[in-house]
Structure 1
Amino acid sequence: MDARIVSPTHPAFHITMALSNTKPRGIVVFSGGSAANSLVDVFQAVRENKKCLLSYVIPISDNGGSSSELIRVFGGPGIGDVRSRLVRLIPDDPEHEDSEKGAIKIFFNHRLPKDRTVAKREWLQIVEADHDLWSHISTAKKELIRAILNMVNFEILKRLRPSSTFDFSGASIGNLFLTGARLFTGSFESAIYLLSSICSVPEHTSVLPAINTNFTHHISAGLADGTVITGQNSISHPSISTALDDATPSVNEDTELHDAIEDANLPGSLPTLRKQYINFSKADEDDLPARIQRLWYINPYGQEIKLAANPKVISALKDAQAIIYSIGSLYTSLIPSLILKGVGQALANPTIRYKILILNSTNDRETGPSDAPFSALDFIEAIAKAGAESRGYVGEVPKYDYCSYVTHVIHLTGPGTPPVYKEELRDIWIETIRIYGRRGEDGGFARYDEKALVQALEAILGKRDPRAERNRRNTLES
């Protein structure tokens, strides 16, 4: 039946109108910060081809780097990865190297020097508008940004105590601004909106914190040998593990020592969550003593808690045609978002046809140890277990249910890449696509090639055909 001649009283008329007015469903990307930033242009290209909304879901459990000092003094969520993605999304202006957009990107990505005294001196230059970073930023935006930074500076002075002073070493200007905006508005969501507006983030792209909160939320990881590691920084980077069940005198003494410091931490909270992790190495990472088996959220005293996801994340998932699990740390970039209440149910929704894992090009500290590195199936199992736990199921997930959470795996081949057993995955209805990457310095395939990755994603999702809308309207059958 031709839709052009369907009577308004015919049932097919209403179906035709609904189809013609349907907006394309969106794409939701789960990721952390720095690693996935390299693929932003890839996701943008796919979004443009599909003419749909793009949402990034970012965890807020990071307690390392300059974020650790902001959390110690002000409390609140770990904002570093959110800030990193917002600034990365600033549109490039290749025709004008000294454009305002470029200057804002440099400004919010700028970190103060490592030396504590020099860092504080430079911070004062910035808030007093006596710094080269302000060049090429319009007066209107400069004064808006400076107002927030000056408010942060005032709040730092208010919290100054003999036992506690703010350490500006290596501080991110963007993190300081986002913290100030959150304190000023009283809303993390509003702070993100303000920074998004200043950074000119496109309207069709959203950066969604996994949890919309003004509080600090930490994570713990349980290893196969029974060890419990507390705090994201300790999980991701070499650190002394903390067993929560051992109330040794040394731990009690450490707690009392931290209780004497006036900061944003509750008295009696775990010492490992109150330490400054401003300086740590991302390069030389020791193996964990055993594989990570489970990850969960804790309160300041180390007790497990169940948290609900940001309602906007659930809304984006319900309106998604595809989910992409991006590259990055499996247990500290992806899993913290997947175990939240509401996420697992949304992920398992069969109306979402494509659930794509972009497999890391190498195993890291979280997916070792080196004598038992993760395979693609191990990555998928971790995602499936997180989704099931979000739904209230604890324990092993049947392999045949893995495809409820992952339907496709895109991967590289070469030295050090996680092994992918195609037949094994095919047996549980998961498709694999191998693509070639850029050669690293050692000759191996170390990085994804952007063009090849876009082609792989489009091969799965299909390109949007501009004739589709016309054909759909004209070929509806009764």
Structure 2
Amino acid sequence: MAAHDFANGWEGTLRFAAIEPTNSQCRVPTTPSTSPRSGIVVFSGGSAANSLVEIFNQVREANNTTLSYVIPISDNGGSSSELIRVFGGPGIGDVRSRLVRLIPESSAETIAIKAFFNHRLPSSYAAARVEWLDIVEANHALWTGISSPKRELIRSFLNAINLELVKRLRPTSRFDFSGASIGNLFLTGARLFTGSFESAIYLLSSICAVPPTTSVLPVLNTNFACHIAAGLTDGTVITGQNNISHPSVPTAAVPQASHPTSPRTETEEHDRVEDANLPGTLPTLRKPAIAFSKEHEEDLPARIERLWYINPYGQEITPPANPRVIDAVNGAGCIVYSIGSLFTSIIPSLVLRGVGEAVSSPLIRTKILILNGTIDRETGPSNNPYTALGFIAAIANACSESMGLKEKPHPNEYFRYVTNVIYLGGPTSPKVDKAVLNKLGIESMRLYGPPTSAGRYDLKALEQALEAMIGVRDPRSDRTRRNTLVG
């Protein structure tokens, strides 16, 4: 339908300097909020949304409430792919990335701990293995500044996973330390020792002094690997998150078939390797994918139409979400769909059973989509990219599928899942038809990024926009920050 058929929407163009009063004037007292629907839930992946952590924390403080990050665990690329291949278990890279980003740099020790868990081993196997042994034996400079009790506690779990690595060595398989994250190795060791992924997260949060008002919640609480598949509009099916988002070449850690002549031949080659995968598992999900680039992405042959979870043999499954995620959404007054990969960072959390119903609740006042500043591989192809309405439709479709509904929701129902859109109006950004969104009951607000950083938000402007939409109360009056905007 043409844009002129709709009523003109609110022209939500915003420069941060135009919002008054200032943040410092709008901070509320420090006593915890008693509202049953005051929490903030952020659906996001790892690296992209890490740049907004301070912003979300400022908004949390302004609302005097709790903040929960819901993180998918389907990533099977990078160093996580080698941990999954050898030990099984969830993809922990994005969870570790957010936990480490939340470590407060309040002392020399927390700074040292942050550097420790952020550290990656060298890219070559031999050098990486030597450095790993130096770390396990406490001979590495990374331990400088970490107190003895915490050092020995951390070492105990690194030693636990090192022992497991030694026990699992086979002539046909070895663990490739190339580029491995120390934080990922620690979380895996803690998970294997305790038998619980969430216990490992709690342990790392405690060691790193992550504030108790902020939670990092894996969307699934499991000790098993969880994989996704995407169906394109041309009928193509892509299995594995890494293949969907950032395809990479296998490494030499596991012998690969030189010239597989059929799927059966390729499967037989992988079945000769003893790892965490049962015989017959899809070869696509067993290939180590340590090396990949986010800078050089080829277009998908067609748009992504749908995303779903699969078992190791490629069959579709419909697992329920982590109960703690449902509890967090049920206690939320605001939901934020953060920047990041739409189909591998946001949608994997929304399609799980229980999430769609919780998200669609009318008791959640504000549901904000922060649009990416650029189109990526998942929201292309470049000659037919997703618009803002396409992003919203993908979110609504995923939530509807979570509820087991066979038909996609009508556009008139999109406001149940998204009430506000924040976007950049640059040439690389998804196109936004404000009149169409306004007709559907969805408010949109345009922000300006720094002049020298195309496709990036001005963080101060974004913080004030979020506070305005959520409705931070001005203690000097009974007005909310929403009322300070001029339509």
Give TM-score scaled by structure 2 length.
Answer: 0.88
Deviates more, 1:103-112 or 1:248-257: 248-257
Separation in 2, partners of 1:401, 1:284: 37
Determine helix, strand or coil for the equivalent of 2:450: strand
Is residue 220 from structure 1 mapped to residue 233 from structure 2 by the alignment?
no
Please tell me the residue identity of whatever aligns with 1:331: F
- Aligned mates of 1:154, 1:73 — CA distance in 2: 13
Residue in 2 that maps onto 1:153? 162
Gaps of 5+ in 2: 1-32, 250-259, 479-487
2:419 is matched with which residue: 388, 407, 411? 407
Q: How many Å separate the matches in 2 of 1:239 and 1:132?
A: 32
1:258/1:105 CA distance change after superposition, 3 Å: same
Q: Partner residue of 1:3?
A: none
Deviation at 1:396, TM superposition (A): 2.7
Partner of 1:108: 117
In 2: Cα distance, 1:369 partner to 1:214 partner:
35
Paired position in structure 1 for 2:293: 281
Matched, 1:423 2:435: yes
Q: Confirm whether residue 82 of structure 1 aligns to residue 95 of structure 2.
A: yes
Give the counterpart letter for 2:201 in structure 1. Answer: I
Q: Amino acid of the residue matched to residue 178 of structure 2?
A: S
User: Does structure 1 residue 266 correspond to structure 2 residue 278?
Assistant: yes
* 8 Å CA contact retained: 1:59, 1:336: yes
Alpha-carbon separation, structure 1, partners of 2:66 and 2:378? 31
Question: Match for 1:437: what amino acid?
Answer: G
For 1:360, give the aligned amino acid: N
Offset, 1:21: 5.3
Q: 1:216 to 1:260 in 2, by over 3 A?
A: same
Distance 2:102 2:458 in 1: 19
- Contact 1:164–1:261 (CA under 8 A) maintained in structure 2: yes
Instruction: Give the corresponding residue for 1:211.
Output: 220
Match of 1:4 in 2: none
1:234 matched to 2:234? The reply is: no
User: Once the two structures are superposed, what CA deviation does each residue of 1:265-313 show, in whole Å capped at 9, x if it has no partner?
Assistant: 0110100000000111111000000000000000000000001000000
CA distance in 2, matches of 1:333, 1:225: 23
Q: CA deviation at 1:316?
A: 0.5
Q: Do the aligned partners of 1:67 and 1:78 also contact (CA within 8 Å) in 2?
A: yes
Q: Which one of 39, 50, 65 corresponds to residue 37 of structure 1?
A: 50
Q: C-alpha distance in 2, partners of 1:439/1:157?
A: 52
- Of 111, 126, 133, the match for 1:124: 133
Partner of 1:5: none
Maintained 8 Å contact 1:125/1:131: yes
Give me the whole-angstrom Cα distance separating, in 2, the residues matched to 1:434 and 1:21: 32
Between the two proteins, the alignment pairs up a number of residues equal to 436
8 Å Cα contact 1:219/1:298 also seen in 2 = yes
Q: Is 1:28 aligned with 2:41?
A: yes
CA contact (8 A) 2:374 2:428 kept: yes
Aligned 8 A contact 1:110 1:172 in 2: yes
- In structure 2, distance between residues paired with 1:54 and 1:158: 40
Measure how far apart 1:46 and its partner are.
Answer: 0.3
2:344 matched residue in structure 1: 332
The letter for the 2-side match of 1:335 is I
* CA displacement at 1:91 relative to structure 2: 1.0
SS in 2 for 1:177: helix
- CA 1:388–1:452 in 2, change beyond 3 Å: closer, same or farther? same
* 1:162-213 CA-partner distances (Å, limit 9, x unpaired): 0111000000000000000000000011000000001110000000000000
Give the SS at the match of 2:177.
coil
Larger RCO, structures 1/2 (Cα 8 Å, 6+ apart): 2
CA separation in 1, counterparts of 2:436 and 2:372? Answer: 19
Letter in 1 for 2:311: N
Partner of residue 48 from structure 1, selected from 50, 58, 61:
61
CA contact (8 A) 1:24 1:50 kept: no
Aligned partners of 1:415 and 1:131: how far apart in 2? 47
- Separation in structure 2 between the aligned mates of residue 411 and residue 199 of structure 1, nearest angstrom: 34
> What is the CA–CA distance in structure 1 between the aligned matches of 2:271 and 2:54, rounded to whole Å?
46
> Compared with structure 1, are the counterparts of its residues 460 and 323 closer, same or farther at alpha carbon in structure 2 (3 Å cutoff)?
same
Shift of 1:394: 2.8
Structure 1 residues not aligned, in runs of 5+: 1-19, 241-247, 470-478
Q: Which amino acid aligns with 1:67?
A: S
Q: What code does the residue aligned with 2:213 have?
A: H
Tell me how far 1:467 sits from its aligned partner: 6.9
Q: Distance in 1 between matches of 2:210 and 2:221?
A: 19
- Note if contact 1:363-1:373 (Cα within 8 Å) is conserved in structure 2: yes
The one-letter code of the counterpart of 1:350 is: P
Matched residue SS, 1:448? coil
Matches within 5 A, 1:319-398: 319-398=331-410
State the one-letter code of the partner of 1:43: F
Note if contact 1:218-1:297 (Cα within 8 Å) is conserved in structure 2. Answer: yes
Distance 2:109 2:248 in 1: 41
**Alignment counterpart, residue 303 of structure 2, candidates 291, 314, 323:** 291
Mapped partners of 1:263, 1:238: distance in 2: 22
Write the distance in 2 (CA, Å) between the matches of 1:318 and 1:21: 15
Q: Aligned partners of 1:69 and 1:31: how far apart in 2?
A: 23
Cα contact 2:248–2:292 (8 A) shared by 1: no
Percent identity between matched residues is 67
Residue matched to 1:447: 456
Shift of 1:104: 0.7
Report how far residue 440 of structure 1 moved. 4.0
Distance across 2 between alignment mates of 1:60 and 1:439: 35
Instruction: Provide the C-alpha distance between the structure 2 equivalents of 1:319 and 1:459, rounded to a whole number of angstroms.
Output: 20
> Contact 1:220–1:231 (CA<8 Å) still a contact in 2?
yes
**Contact in 1 for aligned 2:298/2:377 (Cα 8 Å):** yes
The Cα of 1:449 is off from its aligned counterpart by 1.2
Conservation of the 8 A alpha-carbon contact between 2:73 and 2:219? yes
The whole-number CA distance in structure 2 between the counterparts of 1:76 and 1:22 is 37
Deviation per CA, 1:40-79: give whole Å up to 9, x if none: 0000000000000100000000000000000000000000
Distance 2:224 2:442 in 1: 38
Say what the alpha-carbon RMSD is for the aligned residues. Answer: 1.5
